[in-house]
Amino acid sequence: MPLLVMKFGGTSVATLDRIRRAAKRVGREVANGYDVIVIVSAMAGKTNELVGWVEETSPLFDAREYDAVVSSGENVTAGLMALTLQEMDVPARSWQGWQVPLKTTSAHASARIEEIPTDNLNAKFAEGMKVAVVAGFQGISPEGRITTLGRGGSDTTAVAFAAAFGAERCDIYTDVDGVYTTDPRITSKARKLDKIAFEEMLELASLGAKVLQTRSVELAMRYRVPLRVVSSFEEYDPNAGTIVCDEEEIMESNVVSGVAHSRDEAKVTLLSVADRPGVAAAIFGALSEAGVNVDMIIQNISEEGRTDMTFSCPTNQVARADRCVQEAREKKLINFHGLEVDSDVCKVSVVGIGMRSHTGVAAQMFEALSAEGINIKVITTSEIKISVLIDRKYLELAVQALHDAFGLEKSG
């Protein structure tokens, strides 16, 4: 029997009415001849509420108990979804992560999936179960404790199940109707993409697009799991949404597929760093151990034997970065004269697999920004991406200008 994985996010199961609506979509796929694994998130707002209770109870909480509490939201949704399907005469059963079992590492609150044995669920499908409703976001550690995969982890759960069970497709039901060329809230010209390559989606997800969790796209790309992003609030249409797939499945596309942005960025500069072999490793090794998510990096020679080192990171990690490099200086691991922080910047990026075979994309991007009087502070590139750091007040203008410059309102 062919198998589908269907994942419903928090807004898609926020109320009993929405659970019923989601269940009807599942029932339609069962009627079409599929066995279905449904992955559910907690009802919208529930995880935040549970996290708040944990933090109020124990500010320096035990991560194992944190996982025990915050994973409970998905358990409730899974049970309600299974009951709803049973009321529709669809043979369904709910499964918590430990019952599958979804085996993870022991890194509580940010565990990684290690294995999903298929025997338990396949045995139940063989006995006549048509739908397995699995609580997303959770698993079980080697020590037998409940673990969670980090915020947005239900996307990763869904892709992992699709890979493990050889699903025909993994449908991600959410509150948007697909992947757009940019944020529709910034420009009305944003266009929904019918297809996007895994690599492009991975870049967009890592650069601030909130449609899919980055780890889920990584998994889908590694195991070649076809993904479909589709709205749970629109009427049924088998061709709706955006397919995330192999590059070879896209006949022709624009050179640039999308414009992404990240609003809350900061530019940090270490002034007059002693320039010697290993200094970069000392700086960024310490930042990594402190959990600072460094993105752009540039190094300039400022004077004989000294250099300025600039990097970007999320604004909420600036204090941690500052403390980290000051401690490294006190330990004489690095030597620098001062620290400058610009917290009023943002990152804007253009992404497209077409960049591999087309020249002039960077020049076109910089000309479009220059025409709007937007100064570029930092630039970084990859094979299919160009990112710039600019003043935050120009974010919307930059996104609109780049969207227009690359003609993204037009199909490929």
Q: Which residues are annotated as a binding site for ATP?
A: 7-10, 174-175, 180, 185, 210-211
Strand, helix or coil for residue 386: strand
Q: What torsion, rounded to 10 degrees, do the Cα atoms 48, 52, 53, 59 define?
A: 140
Using DSSP, how many helices (H) and how many strands (E) does the chain show? 12, 18
Give the residue numbers of the binding site for substrate.
47, 74
Strand, helix or coil for residue 352: coil
91, 35 in Cβ contact below 8 A? no
257 phi and psi, to 5 degrees?
A: -95, -25
Cβ neighbours of 363 (radius 10 Å): 9
> What is the distance between the alpha carbons of residues 233 and 11, in angstroms, rounded to a whole number?
10
CA nearest to 259, candidates 379, 382, 55, 404: 404
Q: Which residues of 287-308 are buried (b: 16+ CB within 10 A; e: fewer)?
A: beeeebebbbebeeeeeeeebb
> What is the distance between the alpha carbons of residues 46 and 129, in angstroms, rounded to a whole number?
29
Tell me 175's DSSP state.
S
Give the residue numbers of the binding site.
7-10, 47, 74, 174-175, 180, 185, 210-211
Q: What is the DSSP string of 58-91?
A: -TT--HHHHHHHHTHHHHHHHHHHHHHHHHTT--
Q: Which residues of 142-161 are buried (b: 16+ CB within 10 A; e: fewer)?
A: eeebbbbbeebbbbbbbbbb
State yes or no: cis peptide before 314, omega within 30 of 0: no
Sheet holding 92-95, edge to edge: 92-95, 131-135, 35-40, 3-8, 169-174, 227-231, 242-245, 195-197
How distant is the alpha carbon of residue 165 from its chain centre? 22
Q: What is the DSSP string of 103-118?
A: EE-S-TTS--EEE---
